[in-house]
Amino acid sequence: MFSPGSSDTCADAGGDDTSASDESDPPAAGWPATHPILDLAEFQFLEDQLDSPLIARTFAGDFAKLWGMRYEGLAAAVERRDAAAALDAVLSLRTSSTMLGGLRLALLARGLEENIRNGDLRDAQPLLDAIADCGQRTVQELKNSYVLRND
């Protein structure tokens, strides 16, 4: 979904930005690369729904601060083949990413959720790698945007 508020936009949207399909996205996760890392229109929707930009920005700040722990918990659950813990972690990641406009990360989380629900944790590493990279990029986009620029 492209919107005027999105960053790292889809290459086929007619722009010169090729970063959306850069080589850092692994082949198994290439399909989300057409979606922005951060869609600010989605974040603005959260601000409107909460009727408080401060609460929305606090949520985004907490997301950024907790990213490392969140990812490590997800990766550990997948590594131990704990489907219940992995599903809990990936659903939390998917929901929070969607809320703050991290569309690509939410799509990657959805892909991992499908793997988990299908009992396919052994082949989850490419998606975990993509989630790790995309999560870092999402946090950086939040910091570079007005959302967390002054934090």
Q: Which residues contact 37 (CB under 8 A, 6 or more apart)?
A: 7, 8, 102, 103, 104, 105, 134, 137, 138, 141
**In the prediction, which pLDDT does 149 show?**
84
Question: Is pLDDT of 1 > 50?
Answer: no
CA distance 28 to 50: 35
Q: Phi and psi of 39, rounded to 5°? A: -105, 105
Q: Are 116 and 87 a contacting pair, CB within 8 Å?
A: yes
pTM: 0.79
Q: Which amino acid is at 57?
A: R
Over 60: is that where the pLDDT of 12 sits? no
Binned at pLDDT 50, 70 and 90, residue 19 comes out as very low
Q: What is the pLDDT of residue 11?
A: 33
3-state secondary structure of 39: strand
What domains does the chain contain, in order, with CATH numbers?
Answer: 37-144 (1.20.120)
Q: What does the pLDDT look like over 21-53, one tens digit per residue?
A: 343 444 344 566 788 999 999 999 999 999 999
Beta bridge partners of 39: 6
**Each residue of 95-130: pLDDT tens digit?**
999 999 999 999 999 999 999 999 999 889 999 999
Q: What is the mean pLDDT of residues 70-82?
A: 97
pLDDT value for 31: 61
Q: Determine how many CB atoms are found less than 10 A away from the CB of residue 52.
A: 13
CA–CA gap between residue 114 and residue 127 (Å, rounded): 11
3-class DSSP assignment, residue 6:
strand
Instruction: State the pLDDT confidence band at 150, using cuts at 50, 70 and 90.
Output: confident
Q: Reply yes or no on whether the pLDDT at 136 is more than 80.
A: yes
